[in-house]
Chain A
Amino acid sequence: MDIFSVALPALNEAFALILTPQAIGYLVGGVLLGLSVGVFPGLGGIAGLSLVLPFIYGMDPIAGLSLMVGLVAVIPTSDTFASVLLGIPGSSASQATVLDGFPLSKNGQAARALAAAFVSSLFGGLLGALILTFFILIARPLVLAFGIPELLLLTILGFSMVGVLAGRSLLKGLIAVGLGMTVGAIGEAPAQGSSRLDFGSWYLQDGFSLVVVGLGIFAIPEIISLLRQNRAISKDAKLGAGWLDGLKDWWANKWLSFRCAVIGVLVGVIPGLGGSVVDWIAYGHSVQTTKDRSKFGKGEIRGIIGPESSNNAKEGGGLVPTLLFGIPGSGSMAVFIGGMILIGYEAGPQMIRNDLPVTYTVVWSLALANVVGAGLCIFLSPAIARLTTIRFPLLVPFLFMVIAFAAFQSKQTLWDVAALVLIGLLGIFMKRFDWSRPAFLIGFVLADQAEVYTYQAAQIASVKQRTGGWEAVTSYLFSTVGMVLIAVIIISIWLGARQSDALHKDEPLDVSGSKKAPVIFTLVVSGILLTAFIDAMLVDVYIDKVFPAAVSGLAFLGSVALLVQMRRFPESNPMFMDHEYHGEDAKAPAGLWRSLAWFISLLVLTGFFGFVIALAIFFVVFLRMRESLPWKNIIVMTVAGLGFLIFLAGVLNRDFPPGLLQHYFELPWPLSGR
């Protein structure tokens, strides 16, 4: 076959380049660096790559490539630690992993969950490289077959996963999606730049970043809840199942892992979608293909294996648009392209034709880095999993430090931390009243694509109609690829609808016996949606107005319908779920507001003194007043925490949020801020 005769000699050459002590040395160096940066939520590949870029210039090309690839490859691997152990999604690649990974940690099965996640990552990465080796030669026409209508259909496929993630009440799930899309539409409109729902604030002009929303929706509610319960993450502060069980779990589900890896490569290959949906599609697929679905969301190992198999495979797939078209699939890929130019390779169509061995070097370095990185992580996971046996409040100052710093990376202002608190509040109440947080997040992530692709497809179709009549429109909108996608969407919705009841049948009904609290929250949501609708109607430019008006308007109607239902149905209906009255939060010794106040106090202190001084005060006060630790321990913990953060920020050339103090006085770094 032709492909083989082209691929094999180049592959041979590539392996000769990779398998030298020097290249492997740099690769392992990159992996170690990537792991250390990646564990820290919100930093990710861009920070790591920016760190090595100054040294790349003038380096031996293969050494430089190995270093960068090693670094990029392991970011979606190492952020698994934070998402499984602490419930903190470090990047978009690990959001779906939180759903079942964190509950497993709470059940004392952190080591098992981590091992299953890492071996899935490893497998996904390897399979991705294998597929890519041959696929990259023929990928160009396939990628070009995905026009705007097909991208829109893929976006809809992402939305169809809401069916299995909506929770008990489909209506509430749909409103949550609409709310997520409304929040996603905040800021400068993608078409003509009208300001939407920003109330004149420059912070909101760029909308909320995914990191802030992900942390607010998932991490804050979990951290606050655990702080209130005053216990270790693992319920009985023990580690049950070990890492060997995780490997067995993966083997038992190897076909799921295989399918999700294929999904990861395919979605990664298509430019314009980014990696943001792939783990949700993989998660949805895992739910849809599982017989007993009652454990999802409560610690189902398949809920980890699916998304983790896909997200490393996606990195491989993402090389296709990056290398073939010069269009980076993510921020870190964009920096990666920049780094490649520094050593003399320009990504683009000529890359495959002229530099096929180099292309393969990238692909297989990625695979090798996955093996090294995931192997190392499996090796480390039993030790790191012990984190879940520590009494949680002792971790809290560190976690607050980490998530505040992570949020601050998005726009480097204190408002990032304020936004985190605000979204965190929404997350806390959504959790309490059983509104689907994944549905909200899917809406948020897909809002921009849904808006842009919809009107672009409509606009192009209308031009086609003028020049070629309706025939041209149908052949544009309903291509062969499009018809296949429509079929997949229908199957996905059908599977989702068939199962949504089965998903929740064993859940206890936490109804309070009172309608008041759930109704108030629904009213607040309706208020937000109505405000968004009014704001959208005030936008001048038509194409900037349609989408937010339609989405917030429909979601508002949905919330009105929910309120009507709430009037009609008795208090025992699942729509009145309130986890404050039953479940683990109800028995928590500490109150919600008091626990949240700790985080807000960190925000306020930062507003006055800047982040570093505020953290020092917070560490001491929290550990002394709330935990009554001896002074010696307090000092050790404070110095360790701050020292680590300052070291990291220093190496990565990052700043800290400034406060009023920095506004009036010049202070030396690290006390200064932007």
Chain B
Amino acid sequence: MSFITKLIRAGVIAIFTLTASFSAFAANFSGKTIEWVIPFKEGGGSDKWARFYAPLLAEALPGKPTVVVKNMPGAGSTKGANWFASRAKADGMTIFGSSGSTQFPFLLGDRRVKYDYADWNVVLASATGGVAYLPADLAKRWNSNPQDVIDNVNFIYGSQGATRLDLVPLLAWEMLGMKVEPVFGIKGRGDGRLMFERGEANIDYQTSSAFLSKVTPLVEEGKAVPIMTWGALDDNGNIVRDPTFPDVPSFKEVYIKVMGKEPSGPAWDAWKAFFVAGFPAQKMVFLPKGASQDMIDTYSNAFKAVTERPDFAQISKARLGVYPQATGNQAKAKMVQGTVVEDSATNWIKNWLKDRYGVKL
């Protein structure tokens, strides 16, 4: 037997024993296929988010399994969530990606919801933000005197529906006293941006990543100017300036400037609760009910490893913005903030939806 053959054989044996002893301690996914269920269609925000993470997660999990994104759209994402709640096995081979659009029906007590976030085990919470912007001429007036714009401008806004994420901007603008007419029935925020570009809408908002890639060129051309963000949460749960857009005031700051006082009262509490569910805790990854602590730790550590990659800031900036990607206990805290809401806030929102838009929930 030649030396090289011996060496190879020794190496193979060493690797074998190493991996065998390793898998005795933690889950090993070598050769397995993990399904990441996304309750939305291909190409949507959640789909893109999952497809961004999937290869990175695969690399970080022990045994480097294949991670495939499985789209299970339907019934406003409640179908996929219900499936995950009732059918997914807690063997670590199926994980679920939730989004604000899955959290809102849960918070609003939609009759289709048969899942409970308290049952699941969160392993990643991705935050995002949102930016509202105006055409240049209106933005100029807004910057010199917002009250003039609030009193004298009729806004048109392309909206996906008042019970969706659009609830957050619609309520914010109403609290400022702006006259915004939502034009319902658009299919995605991209359509809203197109209406803005065509001049049919004169106010719009985009989530951070879409703003960075699609609206920034318009800002550079002088066709759009950001006027407010929804803000971000600091570690104590306070709303602060969005770190991705340090030069743009948050809605809270705008409110203080226009109204001359800190926002408070039931409308503000309700807005804040739904803002948290829709943005700072927008996208989360869950293991099913009954997953072992080992498995939860394996996934938490894998996501932690992904977010701590030296190149993570660079590769994630364009796709996720500069936002915390929380794992472990931080993710848990985010999950609670985003899915546990006072009944009074929920009821206020339900009444508002009914009075303002005739939507009964």
Contacts and interface: CB of A to CB of B under 8 A. Distances in A.
B87 to A, nearest CB: 7
Nearest to A543: B184
B86 to A, nearest CB: 11
B190 A325 contact: yes
Interface string B46-73: 0110011011001000000011111011
Contact of B43 (A147, A338, A541): A338
Contact of B213 (A206, A327, A346): A346
B313 to A, nearest CB: 15
Contact of B72 (A190, A337, A412): A412
B42 A54 contact: no
B203 to A, nearest CB: 12
B20 interface: no
Contacts of A1: none
A483 interface: no
Interface string A170-212: 0000000000000000001011110000000010011000000
Interface in A20-74: 46, 50, 53-54, 57-58
A190 B44 CA distance: 17
Interface stretch (A3-11, A105-113, A454-462, A637-645): A454-462
Contacts of B184: 190-192, 455-456, 543
A350 interface: yes
A674 B94 CA distance: 12
Contacts of B109: none
B357 interface: yes
Interface stretch (B134-142, B192-200, B244-252, B343-351): B192-200
A455 B185 contact: yes
Given A326-B213, A335-B42, A338-B43, A459 B48 contact: no
A138 interface: no
Contact of B217 (A58, A328, A348, A452): A348
Nearest to B319: A341
A248 interface: no
Contacts of A191: 161, 184-185
B239 to A, nearest CB: 28
A205 B181 contact: no
Contacts of B33: 653
Contacts of A459: 181, 183
B183 A460 contact: yes
A674 B86 CA distance: 11
B181 A193 contact: no
B221 to A, nearest CB: 9
A50 B70 CA distance: 9
A97 to B, nearest CB: 25
A271 interface: yes
Contacts of B58: 54
A667 interface: no
Contacts of A353: 217
Contact of B156 (A349, A412, A463, A653): A463
Interface in B92-151: 112
Given A188-B76, A674-B87, A460 B47 contact: no
A342 interface: yes
A463 B154 CA distance: 8
B177 interface: no
Given A338-B51, A341-B48, A193 B183 contact: no
A331 B71 CA distance: 12
Contacts of B195: 148
B15 interface: no
A242 interface: no
B103 to A, nearest CB: 16
B74 to A, nearest CB: 5
B194 A327 contact: yes
Contacts of B73: 206
A558 interface: no
Contacts of A53: 51, 69
25 contacts: A54-B55, A54-B58, A58-B55, A144-B194, A188-B76, A192-B163, A193-B161, A202-B75, A205-B75, A205-B112, A206-B75, A271-B191, A327-B191, A334-B42, A334-B47, A335-B43, A338-B48, A342-B55, A346-B213, A349-B214, A349-B218, A455-B184, A463-B181, A541-B357, A653-B35
Interface of B: 33, 35, 41-44, 47-48, 51-52, 54-55, 58, 66-70, 72-76, 79, 83, 87, 112, 154, 156, 161-163, 181, 183-186, 188, 190-191, 193-195, 197-200, 210, 213-214, 217-218, 318-319, 357-360
| CB-CB nearest 5 A-B residue pairs | A334-B43, A191-B184, A452-B185, A57-B55, A349-B217
Interface of A: 46, 50, 53-54, 57-58, 144, 146-148, 188, 190-193, 202, 205-206, 271-272, 325-328, 331, 333-335, 337-338, 341-342, 346, 348-350, 353, 411-412, 451-452, 455-456, 459-460, 463, 466-467, 540-543, 653, 674
